[in-house]
Structure 1
């Protein structure tokens, strides 16, 4: 068995890889330490899973070093002012990706693209258009689907499509990505109680870097998306002045088992064994608690929330996209309509086989989920 993960070795490897030494504020060492402990003690990593995880954590640390170096070389980056119009969130598997990619198609908005979330920083000597980063991102997407060939039936993978901004937050080690890809409930417990202010300040810095690299984004507002943001709604609203939370809604009896299935598919890449029942119960309990906390936060600033139902996204996606755009203070015009219709047609053509699962596979039942989420169902569905 390979040696366990160690924070000091990961930091050293990242420094050796980049030739850089300055991480800046070391606040990230706490979440990294919690994560590493959980990965060693709970995740049941396979040999290949451990090797992949070691490379991934090293790459995230290397990006932290490179970001600080880029700031030193180009201090004007810190003067860029990205404006976030909306963070789309809701339980996973509630139509948020469809809404996100629809809105991102609007000429009035911009979003984080998949290749950018994987490789947000320019490579040395890189020319215009980031061809090497795009090539690597395309290869990375192919490799991911080779490891999890059924994943494309659950979530459409496209290296050049809008993707969740939480992947940028991964570099702060304060992210729902980690307990989605690994069985690390200890880390998940820590995350739910953590103050995420510094992680979101760093997300703002990553948006600055992306906007600085692409002058075409000037004057366009950002639309972002991840269910992770449900864990830090107050922080999102404090960090991004004027931003609205667009909340997608679907019956938890469908959404929770669907996400449990997705998590099992992802974690199988890394772990020697996955326990579907434990995964199902973990996410059911976690989402129920998250939504209870969310309701209290929302009550303080109701004017900054927009609701979209899953069934409406399926039956009238363009109408919903137009409505949300209006809620963000932007009026849809002919260019927006054309972009929305084009995306809907492309999405239908690319859609894979139906995602098949049952609640019982994950130790859940529709009745139990309806009871556990009764307050949410009564208020929003």
Structure 2
């Protein structure tokens, strides 16, 4: 085992630190109200605005809040986090509507030839999108901006030229690292890191992201029944508004959700170039459930490792079944399939092919930026975890892998775990 390997001995029976206990105890007595009307009122009070745009979001908001409220396994801290999340989403929706009203020319902006990375969580999508985003010609979505895409009216940079939204994100990140420090080794979501636009889709209460914050199968079923063409259209409007505030126009995007929404994705962005990443689902699942179980020490009243792995084996299977079914909706000349084992050391040749498909010059300046990013961000930069799929979750790699023969048959994937 390499010296940098991290082992979480107490993953399923956590031994909380003094800081974790103090935070959980402090928040236990706080009143948390997930009633939609209350959440709407708080967003209106925070922004000073009251126009949310099209009223069709209300049934989705109701379902979203109802699913969060029905999750009886949440700690009060996680209920508070979810309450604040919904208020933030509503506030951002108000700010977007106001921005569009004041600057209707936003609607005329085109989102031209984006590169969109599509793949499972933990399959190299984060590495690839951050790498592409190092090209200064590309517009990407840093984490701090994904949380507050639109500034409050009248709120600008401080005396040092720092956006207060970034300052708030730094404080949030520091707090998260204090509560769950090992997350950095699993998914380093620091403020400047490139984030998924699924966070933007959530402004329309139409994404799968709530599933990562709690046990909400009723939300999963509701989300899967939505007409996503409408909501991906809303995403396009958000991207136009962000382009208006801070260009350039050529975006690089990524989200695992796109695996099961390839039809809406390519109808919304018909000139996109799509980079599909593929990895052994066992490696993906053991990484994802370990990360979730570790975070559950502050999110949930007890850890449920078997329920957790059952849910995400099923969820990943659904994502991949849809991806295999709809892969041909994206034209071969506008797409690239990238196996996880190809990423380590072959990035520049992969990007050269991707840029050719996108019709973008593979410039010397971009190549220099790519090399600098790769040099500064080696795999395992923050340490690597040792996973215990059988020991922690009671499932063997072969047992899980047997569910995914259809995926191995379709793409070039190597067994890892």
TM-score of the pair, normalised by structure 1: 0.93
Alignment of 1:135-214 (within 5 A): 135-214=167-246
- Structure 1 pair 350/258, CA: closer, same or farther in 2 (3 Å)? closer
For the structure 1 residues 3 and 338, does the alpha-carbon distance in structure 2 shift closer, same or farther, using more than 3 Å as the test? Answer: closer
Deviations 1:36-82 (A, max 9, x none): 22212225221222122212211111111111111112222222222
Aligned equivalents of 1:350, 1:78: Cα separation in 2: 42
8 Å CA contact 1:103, 1:325 repeated in 2: no
Does the Cα contact within 8 Å between 2:206 and 2:223 map onto a contact in 1? yes
Write the distance in 2 (CA, Å) between the matches of 1:148 and 1:125. Answer: 34
Cα distance in 1, alignment partners of residues 345 and 87 from structure 2: 44
Match of 1:288 among 292, 306, 317: 317
Match for 1:339 among 359, 364, 369? 369
Q: Give the drift of 1:363.
A: 3.7
Distance 1:274 1:188 in 2: 21
The verdict on how the C-alpha distance between 1:83 and 1:263 changes in structure 2, with shifts beyond 3 A counting, is farther
Task: Say whether 1:358 aligns with 2:388.
Answer: yes
Comparing 160-169 and 341-350, the one that deviates more: 341-350
Kept in 1, the 8 Å contact 2:49–2:94? The answer is yes
Which structure's residues are more often helix, by fraction? 1
Q: Distance in 2 between matches of 1:19 and 1:125?
A: 11
Measured against aligned partners, the alpha-carbon deviations of 1:227-265 in whole angstroms (never above 9, x if no partner) come to 111121110101112113211011112111111112223
Rounded to whole Å, the distance in 1 between the matches of 2:75 and 2:260 is 29
After TM superposition, list the pairs within 5 Å mapping 1:162-311 onto structure 2.
Answer: 162-215=194-247, 217=248, 220-303=249-332, 304-311=334-341
Displacement of 1:327: 2.3
Q: Distance in 2 between matches of 1:274 and 1:78?
A: 46
Q: Select between 184-193 and 151-160 the one with higher mean Cα deviation.
A: 184-193
Residue number among 362, 373, 377 corresponding to 2:408 in the alignment: 377
Name the CA distance, whole Å, in 1 between partners of 2:379 and 2:408. Answer: 32
* Contact kept? 2:40, 2:87, Cα under 8 Å: yes
Secondary structure at the residue paired with 2:378? helix
What TM-score, normalized by structure 2, do the two folds share? Answer: 0.85
Distance 1:240 1:43 in 2: 39
Partner secondary structure for residue 261 of structure 2: helix
For the 8 Å contact 1:168–1:206, the answer to whether it is kept is yes
Cα 1:323–1:266 change in 2 (3 A) is farther
Residues in 1 aligned to 2:388 and 2:224: alpha-carbon distance in whole angstroms: 27
Task: Compute the displacement of 1:149 (Å).
Answer: 0.9
Q: How many equivalent residue pairs?
A: 378
Which runs of 5 or more structure 1 residues have no equivalent in the other structure?
A: none
Contact kept? 1:86, 1:245, Cα under 8 Å: yes
CA distance in structure 1 between the aligned counterparts of 2:63 and 2:410, rounded to whole angstroms: 35
Q: Deviations over 1:242-299 (max 9, x none)?
A: 1132110111121111111122234444322231211111111111122112222123
Compute the displacement of 1:130 (Å). Answer: 5.4
Q: Distance in 1 between matches of 2:256 and 2:227?
A: 17
365-374 or 314-323, which moves further after superposition?
Answer: 314-323
State the superposition RMSD in angstroms: 2.0
Paired residue for 2:342? 312
